Amino acid sequence: MPTVESVYAAATVKRLLVGPPRHRGELGETLLSKRLALPIFASDPLSSVAYATEAVLKVLTLGGLAFLYLTPWIALGVVVLLSVVVISYRQVVRAYPQGGGSYEVVTDNLGRTAGMVVAASLMVDYVMTVAVSVAAGVDNLVSAVPSLYGARVVLSVGCVAVLAAVNLRGVRESGKAFAAPTYVFVASILAMIAVGAIRTVGGHPPVAESATYGVRAEHLGLTGFALVFLALQGFSSGCTALTGVEAISNGVPAFKPPKARNAARTLTAMGLIAITMFAGITWLAMVARVHVAADTCDLVGFRGDCAVDPQLTVIAQLAASVFGGTSSPAFYLIQASTALVLVLAANTAFNGFPMLASILAQHELLPRQLRNRGDRLSFSNGILALATVAGLLLIGYRADVDNLLHLYILGVFTSFTLSQIGMVRHWNRELRQVTVAGVRTQVQVARVINAVGAALTGLVLVIVLVTKFTGGAYLVVIAVPVLVLAMRAVSRHYASVRAELVPTSHARLLPSRVNSVVLVTAINEPALRAIGYARATRPARLTALMVQEDPEATDALLEAWAQADLPIPLTVLDCPYRDITRPIVEYVDALRTENPRELVSVFMPEYVVAHWWQELLHNQSALRLKLRLRLLRGVMVTSVPYQLAGAPALAQTWVEPAAEPVTRPGPPVSESRPEVVVLGAHN
Amino acid sequence: MPTVESVYAAATVKRLLVGPPRHRGELGETLLSKRLALPIFASDPLSSVAYATEAVLKVLTLGGLAFLYLTPWIALGVVVLLSVVVISYRQVVRAYPQGGGSYEVVTDNLGRTAGMVVAASLMVDYVMTVAVSVAAGVDNLVSAVPSLYGARVVLSVGCVAVLAAVNLRGVRESGKAFAAPTYVFVASILAMIAVGAIRTVGGHPPVAESATYGVRAEHLGLTGFALVFLALQGFSSGCTALTGVEAISNGVPAFKPPKARNAARTLTAMGLIAITMFAGITWLAMVARVHVAADTCDLVGFRGDCAVDPQLTVIAQLAASVFGGTSSPAFYLIQASTALVLVLAANTAFNGFPMLASILAQHELLPRQLRNRGDRLSFSNGILALATVAGLLLIGYRADVDNLLHLYILGVFTSFTLSQIGMVRHWNRELRQVTVAGVRTQVQVARVINAVGAALTGLVLVIVLVTKFTGGAYLVVIAVPVLVLAMRAVSRHYASVRAELVPTSHARLLPSRVNSVVLVTAINEPALRAIGYARATRPARLTALMVQEDPEATDALLEAWAQADLPIPLTVLDCPYRDITRPIVEYVDALRTENPRELVSVFMPEYVVAHWWQELLHNQSALRLKLRLRLLRGVMVTSVPYQLAGAPALAQTWVEPAAEPVTRPGPPVSESRPEVVVLGAHN
């Protein structure tokens, strides 16, 4: 058993990290205005432009520098897709203002199993969002401060820990902390694109340092299928720009009212900004002839040791070329805000994942602990679960963005596609009910939008699955069904328990009598206290029970017992095999079998010690014994604690002083008239 | 709470490893004849000759090959010391036939604190015996099979695990398993010495392959203090030959009667064999001009890659030179038996440590769990503790004998010295009582023997402390006081608890009434069962208690409660901070404060689930709640288990079928006439 000491220490650390508990009444205050919601929910899709262009270039470079001509076409495809998805999700937000996003939509329209698939995909995505964003943020930090290259994994895991701590403090505070960097990031990237454009128009286009680098492994002359596959691979990677779009639709309940309208507007604003930034960065990268490779060692002409020196990210190369080198203040501003916003983008997931988990727990698909808000009104268990898994992934993949991206995109498009199909069904149903012509037209338009969305995202899903499967997407193909099966098992368990727990008339029958047993090892205070307590419950029969480990000790106890003149008999069980659990449990079991209508109450004296290490010195067999006694029907186990000198007083165990007056005890028992007393409610 | 499933799985694995439980009555059978006791208790001192000579040579080589001329003088010193210690310990065995060895002697004669110092030293020694012997055994194995060089740490830890498993099965079986290798080792080493002697006399002395190797780092020209220090360092290392001598004196109770005489004779036999072997090996190493160095890379002329190829041990070099190369069957026999006996030497500690720990636990210096025999009649907890610490040391020191040796010798000589001083005091006391002249002379002789022993071992203790301190012995200088402080804390705790637990007349006062509280979350079967059980105990007052997390849920429950027509009132506590522990505990505390003469009994419904993962889905707050309720005086906590469908039946939880008939319940309560019933005893 953990000691009160350790519980108190843990609670103190928690208080230091997250602050004092917050009253239920403060919940309203944590709702988000549009101005705060944009950075919180949109930092993910906005920040993903920082690595989307780079991902496209890296894939095309695999074929050879000659294939970089495909870049604008791929970018165009991504922009079209992004527009379609944003427009589609506006419909979702309006149709489902209660939140739950894709999961809600799909469950509603395509059934529970499809809903679980979406839920599993979304959970995987949230985890990947944290891992990819943090890893990419650290990459941009390392571009500016190359000496940190060796500490990438530590930095990434540290970022995840800080994010978890901030989110455990509660959602509103995190919104404030994250607003400024997001806005600075958007402004500085747009400024960079503008300056680059002006210089280009003025005849002095920026030129990246890597424009002169070649790439070692050039496979020129791809044609036919190979060319198409390369283009599709590049497109799949570019689709990372779309990740996070669904976060807003999952988070509608966190918006200030009118929730749906505010969420839809935030979504549109986010879409427009994201498209502008992605298109601008890609265009600028073409102009400046940025060259990148998955492995620095593949870059011919790269100055420095490829095994040690980090490669500059695309954003860093652009910033350096536009603003005149890697030592200009503007370069540092761009890198700092990019790094910060990427790390904060992970915050999108820290908002979305716990809320989704809570909804899933309400639907009995995940353990109950994920359902409720912690004492800071945040969904603490969900936040901790997300941070743990993302941290492990970052360690496992050594914080490598390229490798993590393969796992990322598949889940995103699974939920996009199923959600759009669900919306089409939704509108079909609406159409059957609506008769007003004007509204019918609106619904029909909406249906077309979502149908186009479903077709496009479905197509992309297939492309991603084919082009990324061996690169790591197969892990997602395994993880999603495993999660679905787990949810099904949890759901089935809760359902069967609920069915079992329905009160039967049988349950009200009073057992006839209580047969009490007090476990003793010696005639000492705890034993006498347990005997006294047991006698106070006035059982029909009462015996002290002792297990004989050493026959000589028994003789001594028998003599002492006779002298002590105790008013109850002593039963001694022999235990030649030194496992005291079994004789006791079998004795109690036999007692039950012989008197099936009587209850057995087992009284166990327990020591309450002053310090954790003393716990090792006592109560060794109690746990094993209780574990077995719990299996017997009609048996209660009563712990009679004995507080040793120095055991903490109750008041010493609370971190906070009592927040409200101690509640008052209820009225005396009245067997005839049921009474309901509500104490301290609504205060 | 661990589930019954995991407990069952652990028990099954345990049964497979250690066999079925053994009846207390079998204990007599585990006593040892001299023939079995010699290999068990003497494998440590005998096997240490396998590395003692090597340790001396390595130290002298640090000064340069020229200083090998010191070897015979150092060996002579070690032999004299070994004889003195053996003779001294014969006195100990005779004077203290009840076992406990040095610890018993020192506590008896020099007091508790000195006893604790010896106990701590001995515990450190036992751990080091396991680590050093196993590491040296693996070194000899690697000498014969060099391809295993890279797996030394894994092999060492594996050996410790096997030893632990064998010892958990019980002491007699391990004696049998270990007798043959020890005798083969002694015979084959003596044969090697004999063959070497015959060849030398015949004019064809064996020549070691390393006789032609030089040593890179030669510091010739040491004189004065430096020379003395080198010789003393070599002597300190050679003293490893003495380790383990005290094991027999600790293990006297394991001998067949007459225990003391048998133990003394075994000690003498062991001493004679050890001296013969150590002297023989050292002489042979001089004849064959064996050259060794702490690091293979220091050997000039060594054939092979010093970073990868293991160096042959001294025993291996002698066997190769005497029996004609490293491919002769005799070479393999020597290496195999040496490796085996070294690994088995660790077994000495697996016999000694748990027995010492048991004695210390009986004296309340260590936790009670170490006191009793496990279900195989071995001291299982002591065995597990020893194996764990030794395994960690082997991993920490990468199974390097040279480094481990530094930690080893200090503790050994601490206990030797204190024990001999204690014996001198013992004889002084005897002398005061004895008046018969013949006996007086005997006692005076014994006193002289132990005084010489004390002086010599004390001198060596100082030498070891000075020459080995920086090499690692300082760790022992830290560990021993830490252990002593821990023992003192344990002892003080048990003593204060014992004083506290003395029954007072107050303890017999019966509390006036019981005030019961049933915790409920809904009107379901477990709640109704708990209410029914609580009512069966007929408390003076009874209320159901519910914590409101969500006011809407409360309203629903209040309505259902009214409809259910339950005969007890419902009290609802508000909980705006979502920690349900505090409102409940403070309610119960207030109930106690208001009615100080009444007990409070808190009934908690608990779910018993079918599978371990379902435990995650239930009973989340129960543990924290119990932890706090235990701190309140006059409060009992009663668990009312509710077995969900699929929860295991009691019979499914035992690995073995019931071994004896189920014991019978005791007679009914008789308030007037105390009764004592002993069931199933002595069967």
Give the pLDDT confidence of B540-595 residue by residue, as tens digits. 889 999 887 777 778 888 888 888 888 888 888 887 777 788 889 989 998 888 88
Cα nearest neighbour of B509 on chain A: A532
Of A607, A633, A676, the CB nearest to B643: A633
Measured between beta carbons, the chain A residues lying within 8 angstroms of B363 are none
pLDDT for A671 equals: 35
Of A494, A570, A576, the CB nearest to B23: A576
The average pLDDT across A355-359 equals 87
| Distance in Å, alpha carbon of B175 to nearest chain A alpha carbon | 22
State whether B587 and A663 contact (CB < 8 Å).
Answer: yes
Sign of CA dihedral A578, A580, A584, A589: negative
- The answer to whether A19 contacts chain B (CB < 8 Å) is no
What is the per-residue pLDDT across B475-516, written as a single tens digit (0 to 9) for each?
Answer: 888 899 999 999 999 999 988 888 888 877 666 666 778 999
Band of the pLDDT at A568, cuts 50, 70, 90?
Answer: confident
The average pLDDT across A445-467 equals 91
The pLDDT of residue B365 is above 80: yes
Of A659, A664, A678, the CB nearest to B577: A659
CB B335 within 8 A of CB B141: yes
Peptide bond into B258 cis (omega under 30): yes
The pLDDT of residue B306 is above 60: no
| Distance in Å, alpha carbon of B523 to nearest chain A alpha carbon | 7
The average pLDDT across B281-286 equals 92
The pLDDT of residue A665 is above 50: no
What is the per-residue pLDDT across B370-399, written as a single tens digit (0 to 9) for each?
Answer: 887 776 677 888 899 999 999 999 998 888
Q: Which residues of A438-461 are buried (b: 16+ CB within 10 A; e: fewer)?
A: eeeeebeebbebbbebbebbbebb
Distance CA A625, CA A603 (A): 12
* Best residue in A26, A504, A630, A653 for a mutation probing chain B (most B CBs within 10 Å): A630
Band of the pLDDT at A666, cuts 50, 70, 90?
Answer: very low
Q: Which residues on neighbouring strands pair with residue A574, listed in sequence order?
A: A548
What is the per-residue pLDDT across A241-254, written as a single tens digit (0 to 9) for each?
Answer: 888 787 777 778 77
β-strand A635-643 against B635-643: which pairing, if any?
A: antiparallel
CB B285 within 8 A of CB B318: yes
Peptide bond into A657 cis (omega under 30): no
- Would you tell me which residues 552-571 of chain A have a C-beta closer than 8 angstroms to some C-beta of chain B? 554, 558, 561-562, 564-571
β-strand A214-215 against B635-643: which pairing, if any?
A: unpaired
Angle, CA B343 vertex, CA B340 and CA B349 arms, to 5°? 140
- Would you tell me which residues 445-504 of chain A have a C-beta closer than 8 angstroms to some C-beta of chain B? 489-490, 493-494, 496-497, 500-504
Measured between beta carbons, the chain B residues lying within 8 angstroms of A3 are 627
β-strand A676-679 against B513-519: which pairing, if any?
A: unpaired
Band of the pLDDT at A27, cuts 50, 70, 90?
Answer: low
The pLDDT of residue B673 is above 70: no
Measured between beta carbons, the chain A residues lying within 8 angstroms of B648 are 631
pLDDT for B623 equals: 79
pLDDT for B231 equals: 87
Distance CA B41, CA B248 (A): 6
Of the listed ranges A111-115, A511-515, B663-667, the one predicted with least confidence? B663-667
Of A1, A570, A617, the CB nearest to B493: A617
Distance CA B334, CA B313 (A): 12
Helices (H), B23-111: 34-47, 49-63, 71-95, 101-110
Of A369, A569, A650, the CB nearest to B670: A569
CB A75 within 8 A of CB A282: yes
| Distance in Å, alpha carbon of A20 to nearest chain B alpha carbon | 10
What is the per-residue pLDDT across A487-517, written as a single tens digit (0 to 9) for each?
Answer: 999 999 988 888 888 877 665 666 778 999 9
| Distance in Å, alpha carbon of B491 to nearest chain A alpha carbon | 11
Band of the pLDDT at A668, cuts 50, 70, 90?
Answer: very low
DSSP B243: T
What is the per-residue pLDDT across B214-236, written as a single tens digit (0 to 9) for each?
Answer: 766 555 566 777 888 888 888 98
Q: Which residues on neighbouring strands pair with residue A570, listed in sequence order?
A: A544, B676
C-alpha separations of B631 from B571, B585, B591, B594, B610 in Å: 23, 10, 14, 17, 31
Tell me how long chain A is: 683
User: Of B322, B312, B319, B308, nearest to B291 (Cα)?
Assistant: B312
How does DSSP assign B134-168, residue by residue?
A: HHHHHHHHHHH-GGGGGGHHHHHHHHHHHHHHHHH
Residue A510's CB: how many other CB atoms inside 10 A? 13
Tell me how long chain B is: 683
Distance CA A273, CA A275 (A): 6
3-state helix, strand, coil split of chain B in percent (to 5) is 70, 5, 25
Cα nearest neighbour of A5 on chain B: B627
Average pLDDT, chain B: 82
Q: Going by C-beta distance under 8 Å and a sequence separation of 6 or more, which residues neighbour residue A3?
A: A609, A611, A612, A615, B627
User: Of A69, A49, A61, A79, nearest to A233 (Cα)?
Assistant: A61
What is the per-residue pLDDT across B180-195, written as a single tens digit (0 to 9) for each?
Answer: 888 899 999 999 999 9
CB B591 within 8 A of CB B515: yes
| Residue pairs spanning A and B at CB distance below 8 A | 391
The pLDDT of residue B309 is above 70: no
CB A558 within 8 A of CB B678: yes
What is the per-residue pLDDT across A381-422, written as a single tens digit (0 to 9) for each?
Answer: 889 999 999 999 999 888 888 788 878 888 888 988 998 999
Measured between beta carbons, the chain B residues lying within 8 angstroms of A585 are 650
- The answer to whether A21 contacts chain B (CB < 8 Å) is yes
Measured between beta carbons, the chain B residues lying within 8 angstroms of A512 are 536
pLDDT for B74 equals: 92
Q: Amino acid letter at A298? A: D
φ, ψ of residue B681 in degrees (nearest 5): -75, 155
Cα nearest neighbour of A550 on chain B: B24
Determine what percent of chain A is predicted with pLDDT higher than 70.
87
Distance CA B510, CA B178 (A): 60
Measured between beta carbons, the chain A residues lying within 8 angstroms of B522 are 501
Distance CA B683, CA B677 (A): 15
Band of the pLDDT at A161, cuts 50, 70, 90?
Answer: very high
- Would you tell me which residues 313-372 of chain B have a C-beta closer than 8 angstroms to some C-beta of chain A? 367-369, 372
The average pLDDT across A476-483 equals 90
The pLDDT of residue A669 is above 50: no
Distance CA A178, CA A174 (A): 6
- The answer to whether B664 contacts chain A (CB < 8 Å) is yes
What is the per-residue pLDDT across A179-211, written as a single tens digit (0 to 9) for each?
Answer: 788 889 999 999 999 999 999 999 888 888 888
Distance CA A439, CA B152 (A): 79
| Distance in Å, alpha carbon of B600 to nearest chain A alpha carbon | 10
Q: Which residues of A479-503 are buried (b: 16+ CB within 10 A; e: fewer)?
A: bbeebbeebeebbebbeebeebbeb
Distance CA A113, CA B244 (A): 68
Distance CA A289, CA A292 (A): 10
User: Of A198, A126, A516, nearest to A351 (Cα)?
Assistant: A126
Distance CA A574, CA A586 (A): 12
CB A631 within 8 A of CB A567: no
Of B296 and A282, which is predicted with more confidence?
A282
Say if domain B512-644+668-681 classifies as CATH 3.40.50: yes
The interface pTM score, or ipTM, of the predicted complex is: 0.76
The pLDDT of residue B661 is above 50: no
Q: Which residues of B648-663 are buried (b: 16+ CB within 10 A; e: fewer)?
A: bebeebbbeeeeeeeb
User: Of B98, B146, B103, nearest to B122 (Cα)?
Assistant: B103
- Would you tell me which residues 385-424 of chain B have a C-beta closer than 8 angstroms to some C-beta of chain A? none
B7 Rama class: left (phi>0) / alpha (psi -120 to 50) / beta: alpha
CB A242 within 8 A of CB A232: no
What is the per-residue pLDDT across A6-16, written as a single tens digit (0 to 9) for each?
Answer: 777 777 777 77
Of A570, A658, A669, the CB nearest to B676: A570
Of A606, A608, A674, the CB nearest to B562: A674
φ, ψ of residue B636 in degrees (nearest 5): -105, 145
State whether A578 and B549 contact (CB < 8 Å).
Answer: no
Q: Amino acid letter at A220? A: L
pLDDT for A674 equals: 41
The average pLDDT across A440-444 equals 90
The average pLDDT across B135-159 equals 88
* Best residue in A521, A528, A655 for a mutation probing chain B (most B CBs within 10 Å): A528
- Would you tell me which residues 619-638 of chain B have a C-beta closer than 8 angstroms to some C-beta of chain A? 620, 623-624, 626-633, 635-638
Band of the pLDDT at A156, cuts 50, 70, 90?
Answer: very high
pLDDT for B563 equals: 83
End-to-end CA distance of chain B: 35
Band of the pLDDT at B172, cuts 50, 70, 90?
Answer: low
The pLDDT of residue A335 is above 80: yes
- The answer to whether A384 contacts chain B (CB < 8 Å) is no
- The answer to whether B536 contacts chain A (CB < 8 Å) is yes
Of B608, B617, B638, the CB nearest to A490: B617
Measured between beta carbons, the chain B residues lying within 8 angstroms of A639 are 626, 630, 636-639
User: Of A317, A316, A346, nearest to A334 (Cα)?
Assistant: A316
Band of the pLDDT at A268, cuts 50, 70, 90?
Answer: very high
Distance CA B581, CA B208 (A): 76
The pLDDT of residue B663 is above 70: no
pLDDT for B424 equals: 92
State whether A586 and B662 contact (CB < 8 Å).
Answer: yes
Q: Which residues on neighbouring strands pair with residue A515, listed in sequence order?
A: A541, A600
Cα nearest neighbour of A573 on chain B: B679
